[in-house]
């Protein structure tokens, strides 16, 4: 078992103990903590059910299995992490068995594939079912026999699992005392279950897994300064092994000894690396220089910022009349903005709030890419029911303690900060939505909704919601886009 799996098992053990102590949030936290592991296991177990893979997505199977697990945890008193993992494996297996029945049973898709013999998962040996697809779908008696067979095997398997949890190991021959013809079928099911348990606990050893730790070395050279922000500076460089251009971000030298800044930098790297979305720059690695300076390197985006594109559009548009909302340039801006919205929606579904959305933090690539960058202020938040139904697992960063910046007080870009962020309230997805509205405002008018050197006055205008109407600032702005902008920025 590798170090990461071992640490996660310890964390699961901790939450199991809290659940036993009556912690009301422990069950949900336990499922969130193990979600990545359960999803990975579901993906691997699905390979054993090759026929099911033709129609079912891994995420759909995973979600249904988690619902089963959540319900099962209400009636089972968990004793340990191993007990939890075994229960999880059981629920994943049962979900796949139910799907197998659905597709290959008398009411399922097998009637449309009568040329395929056999049912259930592909691990079952020939002869476990004495029924051909065509026979079952047309003969009511065969249909009944097929159903009774699966019900019996399921009951016997439950008896075996319950005995195992009590520390007993029942012989298959004893379980099948009254039905010896089913010994081979039950042995196959038990073997598959034990393999699933091993996979869940991280002890499974096959051609696709290895206990060794792989070390990857890379040399980055030819660094040239590119840009800088509040937390770090970005350099353009070359990675020698793959001879590719990359971007390297270093924490500022004066922040190397600042623990809070280092935590934020590590959190930014982890969030960026784990948000797997076309709208988030791919991160290649994290490291530290010989002098202790943190850095991470990522794909280099050759292009311009959304802010640059907005400035150029308004500088070159006609000075009078409509602002060219039907022009190719404006439609390209709107397309990029829609991409930003989808990226932020994905982050919210993972339980991450960006907190610094603005045109300058959006990169537009030469080939149509739209990338949201600078996740240095991002924080994890508790997801509500809407985001839990998205099918995405919560991203629970291991970097950073969250101290000092969790409320968001005093950080961000004032012209794009929401009233609640300006007031130092707890971060929430609504704050990002406000910032998206403020970004759209600049896209429509060519200037921020609030600007000026007097920060106190700007803050007061934000808190009071004194937002000028885009149509009053720029002629030709459509009513529909103005409505979207004002809705996003409403108090």
Query: SS3 string of the chain?
Result: CCHHHHHHHHHHHHHHHHHHCCCCCHHHHHHHHCHHHHHHHHHHHHCCCCCHHHCCCHHHHHHHHHHHHHHHHHHCCCCCHHHHHHHHHHHHHHHHHHHHHHHHCCCCHHHHCCCCCCCCCCCCCCCCCCCCHHHHHHCHHHHHHHHHHHHHHHHHHHHHHHHHHCCCCCCHHHHCCCCHHHHHHHHHHHHHHHHHHHHHHCCCCCCCCCCCCCCCCCCEEEEEEEEECCCEEEEEEEECCCCEEEEEEEECHHHCCCHHHHHHHHHHHHHHHHCCCCCECCEEEEEECCCCCEEEEEECCCEEEHHHHHHHHHHHCCCCCCCCCCCHHHHHHHHHHHHHHHHHHHHHHCCEECCCCCHHHEEEECCCCEEECCCCCCEECCCCHHHHCCCCCCCCCCCCCCCCCCCCCCCCCHHHCCHHHHCCCCCCHHHHHHHHHHHHHHHHHCCCCCCCCCHHHHHHHHHHCCCCCHHHHCCCCCHHHHHHHHHHCCC
Residue 65 CA to residue 49 CA, distance in Å, equals 15
CB 153 within 8 A of CB 137: no
356 is known as an active-site residue: yes
CB atoms within 10 A of CB 158: 12
In terms of Cβ atoms closer than 10 Å to its own Cβ (0-12, 13-18, 19+), residue 418 is buried
Residue 261 CA to residue 89 CA, distance in Å, equals 41
**Residue 447, CB-side half-sphere exposure with 13 Å CA sphere:** 12
Q: Spot the catalytic one: 98, 122, 290, 356.
A: 356
Residue 55 CA to residue 102 CA, distance in Å, equals 11
- The set of catalytic residues is 356
């Amino acid at each position: 078992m590798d170090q990461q799996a071992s640490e996660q098992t310890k964390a699961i053990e901790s939450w199991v103990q809290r659940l036993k102590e009556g912690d009301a949030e422990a069950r949900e936290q336990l499922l969130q903590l193990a979600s990545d592991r359960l999803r990975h296991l579901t993906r691997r177990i699905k390979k054993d059910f090759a026929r099911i893979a033709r129609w079912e997505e891994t995420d759909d199977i995973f979600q249904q299995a988690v619902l089963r697990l959540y319900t099962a945890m209400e009636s089972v008193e968990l004793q340990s992490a191993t007990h939890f993992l075994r229960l999880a494996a059981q629920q994943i297996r049962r979900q796949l068995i139910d799907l197998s029945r659905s597709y290959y049973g008398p009411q399922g898709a097998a009637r449309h594939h009568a040329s395929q013999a056999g049912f259930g998962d592909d691990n079952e040996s020939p002869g476990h079912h004495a029924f051909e697809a065509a026979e079952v779908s047309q003969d009511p008696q065969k249909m009944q026999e097929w159903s009774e067979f699966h019900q019996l095997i399921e009951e016997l398997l439950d008896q075996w699992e319950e005995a195992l949890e009590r520390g007993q190991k029942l012989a298959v021959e004893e379980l099948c005392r009254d039905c010896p013809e089913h010994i081979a079928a039950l042995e196959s099911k038990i073997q598959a279950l034990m393999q699933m348990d091993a996979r869940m606990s991280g002890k499974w050893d096959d051609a696709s897994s290895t206990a060794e730790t792989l070390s990857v070395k890379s040399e980055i050279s030819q660094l040239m300064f590119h840009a800088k922000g509040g937390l770090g500076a970005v350099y353009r460089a070359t990675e020698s092994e793959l001879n590719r251009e990359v971007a390297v971000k270093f924490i500022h030298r004066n922040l190397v000894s600042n623990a809070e800044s280092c935590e934020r930098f590590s959190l930014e790297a982890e969030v960026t690396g784990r948000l797997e979305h076309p709208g988030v720059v791919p991160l290649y690695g994290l490291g530290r220089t010989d002098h202790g300076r943190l850095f991470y390197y990522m794909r280099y985006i050759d292009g311009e910022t959304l802010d640059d594109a907005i400035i150029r559009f308004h500088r070159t548009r006609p000075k009078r009349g409509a602002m060219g909302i039907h022009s190719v340039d404006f439609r390209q801006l709107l397309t990029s903005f829609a991409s930003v919205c989808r990226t932020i929606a994905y982050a919210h579904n993972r339980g991450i709030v960006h907190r610094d959305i603005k045109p300058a933090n959006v990169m537009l690539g030469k080939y149509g890419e739209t990338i949201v960058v600078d996740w240095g202020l991002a924080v994890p938040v508790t997801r509500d029911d809407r985001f839990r139904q998205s099918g995405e697992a919560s991203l629970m960063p291991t970097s950073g303690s969250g101290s000092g910046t969790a409320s968001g007080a005093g950080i961000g870009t004032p012209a794009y900060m929401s009233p609640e962020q300006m007031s130092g309230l707890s971060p929430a997805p609504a704050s990002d939505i406000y910032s998206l509205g403020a970004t759209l405002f600049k896209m429509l008018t060519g200037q921020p909704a609030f600007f000026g050197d007097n920060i106190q006055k700007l803050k007061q205008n934000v808190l009071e919601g004194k937002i000028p109407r885009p149509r009053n600032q720029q002629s030709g702005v459509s009513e529909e886009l103005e409505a979207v902008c004002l809705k996003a920025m409403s108090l």
